[in-house]
Each structure stands twice: as C-alpha cells, then as structure tokens.
Structure 1
Amino acid sequence: MKRLLCLLFAAMSLSGCSLLKVSVSTGDPLPRRDAETRLMTRGFYYDLSSEVSRTADSIVAVSPDLSVRLAAIRWKIRVTRVAVSAAMQSIPEVALADMWILCRRMDDAFSATPDSLLFGPHSGLARRTAAQLERRIDKLARETLAGERYGWMMEFVDRFVKEHPVTEQGVEPVNTTLAWIEFLRGKGVEPDFATGSIAEVLADVNDRVSGQTQQLANTVGWSKEMLEMEWRQESLRAEVGARLDSLERDLNRMVLVAEHLPEMSDRMMAGLNGEVAQLVDTMNSLVDNAFYDFERQRRELQSYVTQEREALVGQLRRSAEELIASVLDAVPGLVGKILFYVVLALVVLIGGPFALGFWLGGVRQRLKQKDRE
C-alpha cells in the first residue's frame, strides 16, 4: 500500500510539471556506412563524367575523321547517361555495385576491341581513361566497404560481368537491386532497406533531380554539337565546289570559242544552260537532304527529351511515395505515445486524489475511534 501511494505521489508531482511533449518522428537516419557509401559513389559519378567528357573532347579536338569525332561524342553521352542512373539509386551499395560494373565492362570492352572499331589512332586515350576509372572504383569500394563486405561485392561484380556480357563499348544500363539482395541472402545476410530520415530523403531527391537535370542539359548540348558536325561535313562542300569548278571551266571554254567562232556561241550557251540547271538541281537536292536529316534528328532529340522528362517525373513520384510511406510508418508510434501519456495523465489526475482521499479518510476514522476510546 505504501509503495502504491509513493508511486501515485511521484506521478502527481511529475504531472504538475507539464512535461508531456508531443514530437513527430523524423525517421531513423541512414547508418554511417551507408551514408558514406552514397556520398562517395555520387562523388565518383561526377569525377567519371568529367574524365569521360574531357577524354572525348580531346579525341574530337585532335581527330580529323568525322566518324571518330561523332563516335567520341556518342560515347560520352551513353556513359554519363548510364552512370547517372546507376549512381542516383536509393540503395547505396547497389549504386556502388552498378558503378563498378559499368567501369569494369567499359575497361574490358575497350581492351578487347580493335582501334578501327573504337576511335582510330586515338583509342589509347579512351583505354587509359577506362582503366583508370576501373582502378579508382575498386579503390573506393575497398576504402568504403567494411570487413568482408568488399570481398562479397568484388565476387558479385565478377560474377555479374561474366554472366551478363555486353557488345558495344561496355556501356549498357543495368540495375542489380534484386541480384544484390539475393546474393546477400545467399551469404546469410538480410539486407537493410532503411530510407533514412526525412532530411536524408529530401537530400536524396534533390541529388537525383540535380543529376538528371544536368545530364539532360549536357546531352542536349552534345547532340547539338553532333548535328553541327554533320552539317559541316566535307562531302557536301566538296560536291558543290566540284560543280562550281566544272562551271568555271565551261565558262572559260565558251569565252574562248566565242572569240574565234561566233557561230558556236549558241551551242555553248545551250550547254552552259544545261550545266547550270544540273548544278541548281544538285544543290537543291543536297539542301533538301540536309534539312530532312536535320528534321529527323530534331524529332529523335525531342523524343529523347520527352523520355528523360517522363523518367524524371517517375523518379520524383516514387521518391514522394517513399517519403509519404516513411511519414505514415511513424504515425502509429506517435499515436501510441499520445495514448500512453493521456492514460497516465488520467490515472494521475483522477486516481491520485481519490486514493489520497481514501487514505486520509481512513486515517481520520482511526483517529476518531482512538478519541472515543
């Protein structure tokens, strides 16, 4: 009885101090290892984009071959587009594994492909860049992953590259989320699906939007550069120049013949008219073909921009759904805490005075009995 009274008095004293606080849970933050993995992987993505772009620009600057220059630009477009999708995934270890697979495939493909199918005499620049990126991602994984996790990921990357070969420059979109989860479960490890706190989720969404937006802007700029290169190709100017040279020679012959044989002037003029008409037809045909190619590439570019925009909107929608799910998961705990404090307050405010009055009444009754005795 005395213990119960002591507990009631302690509860009454605490309830009178207005310590009932309500706070909304912001979710559990990512483990330090996962947060560091995400930060280092995305930092490596920006370095990879810079290195590939710089190497491709160097090939474009020194190569006189139009096909080589166009191939270099297509290479940096494909690599950066695949890399941003891999690095911006929500699971940090999956993002690191996909970036590692991208670098390994690119290095293997460049080592096995002859110069004629890459960038001609400048293929060595691309090979050195691919090998350097593969060594850097290996070092990053070794420094970031703890314990045997690095060995597991190396085994996973080796196995995945062998089982899923690619054919063109080692650049191909890949998502190993399910494969990595099954691999870990095969090792007896249950993967962690934590999304992090609300602040981390918002920061993740901001990184994704920023990375996809920058990639889209770069792709549009590089595609425009390819169009300009194709427009300025030498074949068009060479053919027009050849036609003009032929016209000049005909004019010179006509002047020479007209000076000595006036009766041939009419026939020469007829020939000149034919040459001029042929030249005009050729130029019209070339211009029409050039504008047709430009329109076709513009439609392809518009289709690509539309697809990228839809992908970005889909990622934003999924991120919003994950954020709402995290908030809704925190609601039951909050409601439970509120109900607990409400019940505790009712017990203290109602049961406490009642028990105290009952006890005081008993004490007073015993005192009256003693007085009567």
Structure 2
Amino acid sequence: MSFSSLVSDLTYRDSDRDEKRSTLSRAKSYASTAATSVSISGDISSQLHGGYSHPLARAWQAERQLTKSMLIYPLFISDSPDEEMLIPSLPNQHRRGLNKLVAFLAPLVRKGLRSVILFGVPMAPNVKDALGTAADDPKGPVIQATRLIRRRFPELFIVADVCLCEYTSHGHCGILRDDGSLNNQLSVDRISDVAMAYAEAGAHCVAPSDMNDGRIRAIKLKLIEAGIAHQVVLMSYSAKFSGCLYGPFRDAAGSCPSFGDRRCYQLPPGGRGLARRAIHRDINEGADIIMVKPASQYLDIISDAKEIGKDLPVAAYQVSGEFAMIHAAAKAGVFDLKTMAFEATEGILRAGATIVVSYFTPDFLDWLSD
C-alpha cells in the first residue's frame, strides 16, 4: 500500500472528524517515488544548479579558515507563539514561538549570522499522530517560521530539517509497521512530501535527517518534477550515528522515542564502512551537501566524507551532547569556553568539513571578526 492510499483509507474511515480528514489530505503524496513522470538528462546526480543557486551556497564550495559564513545555527520553533523557554540540558538555548523570533534574530543578523536550521516543536495537545501529519501543516512552526524569516530577514539562508520524529506520537523518524519496525517505503514517501512543503514555503535548503534508504532520490525527483530543483539545496544527513549525544536535543524537540530506539536506521558507532556506503548512496541520489553527525567523535568519517565527496561541501553537526559537554568542562575549569569551542570546531574543519552546524554560533559571531 502506498502512503497516498494509506492516507485515503484512513481519511474515509474517520468520516466523523472533518478536521482530521483535512490534515490527512494535506499529507497526500505529490508523486509516487516508484513511478514518476520526471525525464532528466543523465543520472540524477547530474542535477547541480540547486547546490549553488544561493550566494551563501556558492561560498560553501570554497575551503578556508573558520568564518561566520560557515556556521549554521539551530533554532527550535514552538507552535506556541509567545513561548520563550530555556532548555535546561542545553545551555543558553531556548524554544521560541513566532512572536519571539524576530527580536531574537535581529541582533544576531547584525553581528553576521548567515544561516539557520529550523526544527519544529509542536506543543499543542493531540497534534502528534502515527503519521506525523502535522509536519507539513501550513500553519505549523517550520512553514510559518520560514515565511516569517524570508519576509523579515531576506538575506538569511534557511535550512529546514526534514524528519517526522518531532511530529509522530511514537517519536520515531518515519512510519511504522504493526510490529513497530520502520516502513521504509511509506516513510520515504512521507518525508519527501514534507521536504517539498518546506521548499515551496521558501526554505533555501531541505535537510532530511531521518536516515531512511532512498529519501534523497525521492526528494530530488519531486523537486525536479515541481520545477524548483534548480533553486533548492539538498543537504543530506548522510552519516548520522546512533548514540547518547542527542539527549539534550530530544529534550528540546520533544522527540524521544516512546519505545525502542533508532539503532536500526541510524548508523552503529564504529560503522565506518556503513558510513562510507551511505555517503556514496546519497551522492549518487543527488545530494548537494553531505553531513556527518555527531562531529567531534567522528573526525575520521568527516575525512572519509571529504575523500568520497571531494567535489561536494561537507557539513558537520556539533550535536547537543558535544555542546553540553564543552560547557560542563568549561564550568569545571578544565579550559575556558572560547578555547574549547575553537579547538573543537577547528578540528572539524581540519578533518575536512566546510560547514558547521553549531549551538556555539552566537558566541562565534562575537569571537570572529569575519
């Protein structure tokens, strides 16, 4: 059964709930991932224009020392408009609603902030379901924040993280089978629809972090079919390892799995060969940028990514656990925060990354001259 058929079946089965029917219909597939009318010349990896359509994306093609333009700052966007809630496990980081976003971003943009990555955090009761139908709700946090930022900060490059874990009632990154395992086919169809919704809302870059097989090709085909592949960067979380370093992020995003874990779709620690295969896969499917996550613990994988994707920018995500540990070490007096943040980040760059997703971005905007 395709995701579109599943949605249709659930819609008619729940005929007494008009609002739910409307939500489910929004999740309907734009195009089948198995059969598409797209006709392109050559392999799908030949589609290059989207990867350098934006001035910042063009700057990412070059290698250089740490600069402000290399940094992407993660933002947690709540569906509660006036929320500004400190995340206890993630020092100095907050969940913010739309009404708090402009005032927060304005001074950072003046200091040289060039890019943000958006994570939606639905807080309203009963908004989560088994299909993550709220992920591409036009009134949801990511789409609304994208439109607001495009309007108020047109120079800011917007990356939209694409995953279902924040929106599913079970907290996993896709659609599940009855036995609780991941249904890759339905998940890819759903994830690619969400990516399309974010791109059409104005995101300059879509970044699928779900680690489902084939989602890069599915997204690329739908971008081509919609006629916008030339203006949207596709950044893949290609080598995303499972582990304990995501705890503060899951606190912030409310995305802890309600059962089990993500080891069957995130890479196992030490799985260097699997990481290399995943990087090859995503490059062949049309990724414009490849990412390694976590960053500091996987410098060898960053180096591999640079070797395999020698003609692509490589991104690295300094995840929440890395950030929290550096803060804890600085608080304990091991080294000062600035020294530790610079050493960790420069190590990532030496390994081969040219883009860094980092919670230290506001600090670097003060510490860096350019």
Relative to the length of structure 2, the TM-score reads: 0.21
Q: Could you tell me the TM-score, scaled by structure 1's length? A: 0.21
Question: Whose strand proportion is higher, 1 or 2?
Answer: 2
The answer to which structure, 1 or 2, has the higher relative contact order (CA under 8 A, 6+ apart) is 1
Asked which structure has the greater CA Rg, the reply is 1
Richer in helix (by share): 1
